[in-house]
Amino acid sequence: MEKVTNHECPRCGRTQLNVYFSDQTDNRVGAWCEFCNLKAYYFGERLVPINS
């Protein structure tokens, strides 16, 4: 899995969202915000929160 940092978090608005990609592809699989602890997965292009 590859991680890309500094995306804007949809919950807190900070640029501390890490987006995770499947190895060797451009498919996003999940995300985690280091500031507000948002954890989510991607369903197509939609980011779906796992925790509240």
pLDDT digits (tens), the chain, 52 positions: 899 999 999 999 999 999 999 988 889 999 999 999 999 999 999 999 997 5
Here the contacts of 13-17 (C-beta below 8 Å, separation 24 or greater) are: none
Is 9:17 a contact under the CB 8 Å cutoff?
A: yes
Q: Structure pTM?
A: 0.86
- pLDDT at position 14: 98
Residues paired with 43 in a beta bridge: 46
- pLDDT at position 52: 57
- Strands of the sheet with 46-49, listed across from one edge: 2-7, 17-21, 28-33, 39-43, 46-49
Domain ranges of the chain: 2-49
- pLDDT at position 26: 85
- pLDDT at position 25: 84
